A and B are shown apart, each in its own frame.
Chain A
Amino acid sequence: MTIEYRQIQPAEFRKFGIAIERGFGFHYSPNSAQFRLDKEILPINGTMCAFEDGELVGTTAAIPFDESSIQGGTIRNAGVTAVGVSTTHRRQGLLTNMMQRLLRQEREKGFPVASLWASESSIYGRFGYGVAIHHENFRIDTRRAKFTFAPNIPGRIRFVDADEARKLFPQAWEAAREVRAGIPSRDDVHWDRWAIGLNDGGSEWGKPWTIVYEEDGKILGYAKYQLQDLHVFGEQTHGAINADDIVTSSPASHAAIWTHLLNVDLYDTLTTWRSPIDDGLPWMLEDQRQLERMPYDAIWYRMLDIQAALESRTYLNDGSVVFEVVDEFLPECGGRFKLEVQAGRGTCLGVTEEPDFTLPTASLGAIFIGGSRLTDLERAGRVDEHTDGSLATTDRMFSTIRAPWCPMMF
């Protein structure tokens, strides 16, 4: 049995969709609008799949987007998705072969980094990915969620219908991209695909509710949430509220959206996922222990072109370090580099000087966007410091005022 690795052809897209969804335990049965949008979102030249006798037995793909950085930097990012190996073809190295080819393909297109959401946290470390954005899941009984603090809220919240949400939500998204690193750019195709879910409740959750925060004619925040009625007559059983999509861009929009979510009468068990780890919400509460906060790994980064990547982001603190990156999976991506940051912009060059520290590429991926620290990685044996203090210096250069955040699943 020989396995062929290649991009899919246009006529193979439906098979591709079926294989991806099967890998996650679902059947793929899109309506025609979804199918058209899926084809646009997943460009064929971003796929890398495994075939055996013409049969699709493994899938990977990359979606291109621009990642927000701070102070105007943007990072071109290959968003890795659709990763699956057929249950019939496990433990034969298919994923390793596909991933290597996919990453090289995206690097050649000029993407300096790749990133992904991991279905399981045991998979991607070996391919050089490191956890770069950490999130938290929230849960709170809204009856116990009184605010002691809140910023002044000059604007207002209003309900919008699905059409208006489709039109207005992107404005809030763009506003958020200005203030937090890690948020992907989204074009109309992405938003159209996302908007399909607005008309579809799915399972026990009702059709989503959508609100926007408006201030001076600008949309600065939005939320999409779903309700589940648990009411039983004669009992104090209430409903659940799941806010899976909250985007805010300022203290006022954040406070306004949260005030709304915590005051939906009769639905008082509120859950969110993918909240930023430095969210202001706990610090507004009279009793912050009422908010359960469960951290989890969100976005994993993989360096493809270190020089270009480090020059595309901006930095909080100036400094200069030399480091050696060991990349066993894609040796051509490793090497020795000097990063010099002046006035927040970095210059990165290949050098031969003695390094201040040596690290595997996954560790550089982890700190790249400011969400993880080398000083923590060092204690796990994931970076070797040769010059005292160089890791702390690097952490200060890479750190961000706000934790990086990725509110979009891809």
Chain B
Amino acid sequence: MSIDLKSVNDENFVEWRRAVRAGFGQHVHPDDITRLRNDRAEIDRLIAAVDLDTGRIVGTGGVDSFTLTVPGGVQVPMAGVAYMTTAATHRRQGTFTRMMNRIHDEARERGDLVAGLWASQSHLYGRYDYGLAVNSFDWKIDPHYGEFAHSPGTDASIYFVQAGEATGILPGIYDQYRSDTPGGVDRTAGAWRYLLFDEERVRGGASALFFAICEENGEQTGYVMYRMRRQGDSDMGTLQLEELIALTDTAHASLWRFLLNYDLVGQITAENMPADDPLWWMLADPRRLRRSRHDSLWLRFIDTEKALEARSFGVDGKLNIGLHSEHQPEVNGTYTVEVTAGIARVQKSNAKADVDMTPRDLAVIYMGGSHPYSLVEAGRVSAVDQEQLTKLHLMFSTDSAPWCPHYF
């Protein structure tokens, strides 16, 4: 039985898409295949693994192109890895690894500095040098306990809009937000159409989307979109938050005041909330906000030097970082990071390392989402002395936690 990696084209796209969804245990509606093809898929970045004996697709993968905002605000090209499956009939033959290697090779040729993904399971991607770069939280709160003890002001105007109007407003607000937020990625017009598609089959039993816009001094500074889950008119239903984007602290506070004032809601649920969202600090009874930590964006370096040079650093100084990888021995070596006025020059050398780690560990601390000491305690990162560990900590620390508002 031999398996070849093939490109995806209009002839095998339907089979490829069915194989992707089957890998996640789902059937796919024919219209949704067309939708993905028209609005989202970059067909020349998709891969099909084909069993040459049967001619069938037995593995799938691909990339959505993104730009990722890194600490300091620079946007770097990122290969957004998605659609990764191997058919249940063809496990343990190395197909997944071959697809990942192909994706990384092509990303390098195209000039991507990093690859990023959301993992279906958290044990899959470490072996390819991905590290969990962005943490998020899932939230639940009973709005009856939503009183604020503090706030930066909640006097922004909020108004409802219908889906058609929302389509014209949301992308502009989102784009400004993601450009300023480490971890943010761009959304194309197609990505917006794909996201806002709202026929009954994609609602998961909840209502159609509701939209509300926040406005301050004539400027639209935030929005929220959510669904309702309620049985009958007197049921204390659930408000399922789909996305809340706020450009100002007042917009953030005003949108949350709006949500927490909702009548006939017994619970608000939200997934993928920022690790440092200030709502917790505003509540009069913060423990009522039930938080559960979740992994969000995983990153892998495609061009380590350029990726390091793209972000800004909290303190100046020079640090020799020794990288050691079993997966990609070609990156092994010492990376001398010299930071002046927050900007790094990075050179690969044979210098003696001050700190040692794998590329996946560097990915974990790259966005400032986790501190290096956790990795030291886990036996993953070592430093020659406390001074070098302190330097590593201060250099990579950021003023805010990264957040990736876009799931792909």
* Chain A interface residues (CB < 8 Å from chain B): 120-122, 125-126, 131, 136, 148-152, 251, 254-255, 278-284, 286-290, 292-297, 316-317, 373, 375-382, 392, 395-396, 399, 401-403
Contacts and interface: CB of A to CB of B under 8 A. Distances in A.
B298 to A, nearest CB: 11
B315 A317 contact: yes
Nearest to A148: B126
Contact of B374 (A131, A280, A381): A280
Nearest to B374: A278
Q: Is the interface of A mostly helix, strand, loop or mixed?
A: mixed
Contacts of B355: none
A375 B399 contact: yes
Nearest to A122: B285
A280 B378 CA distance: 5
Contacts of A316: 390, 393-394
17 contacts: A151-B378, A251-B376, A255-B379, A280-B373, A283-B378, A288-B122, A289-B295, A290-B122, A317-B315, A376-B281, A378-B152, A380-B150, A380-B249, A380-B279, A380-B281, A381-B153, A381-B282
A148 B376 CA distance: 14
A121 B285 contact: yes
Contacts of A120: 285, 287
Interface in B359-379: 364, 370-371, 373-379
B374 A125 contact: no
Given A295-B291, A379-B252, A401-B373, A150 B281 contact: no
Given A287-B121, A381-B151, A294 B291 contact: yes
B293 A317 contact: no
A125 B400 contact: no
Contacts of B110: none
B397 A283 contact: no
B379 A251 contact: yes
Interface residues of B, number: 50
A317 B394 contact: yes
A388 B288 CA distance: 33
Nearest to B288: A121
Interface in B115-159: 121-123, 126, 132, 137, 149-153
Given A278-B374, A282-B378, A297-B286, 15 more contacts: A121-B286, A152-B379, A251-B378, A255-B378, A278-B371, A286-B123, A287-B123, A289-B294, A376-B278, A377-B278, A380-B151, A381-B253, A395-B399, A399-B393, A401-B393
A294 B293 contact: yes
B380 interface: yes
A104 to B, nearest CB: 24
Contacts of B252: 379
Given A283-B375, A293-B293, A377 B281 contact: yes
B81 interface: no
B389 interface: yes
A382 B373 CA distance: 29
A378 B152 CA distance: 8
A290 B123 CA distance: 10
Contact of A373 (B151, B276, B282, B379): B276
B371 A295 contact: no
Interface in B293-344: 293-295, 314-315
B394 A376 contact: no
Contact of A294 (B126, B292, B378, B397): B292
A278 B150 contact: no
A131 B376 CA distance: 26
A381 B122 contact: no
Q: Which of A120, A125, A131, A283 has the most CB of B within 10 A?
A: A283
Given A395-B399, A399-B397, A380 B152 contact: yes
B123 A136 contact: no
A316 B126 CA distance: 31
A381 B249 contact: yes
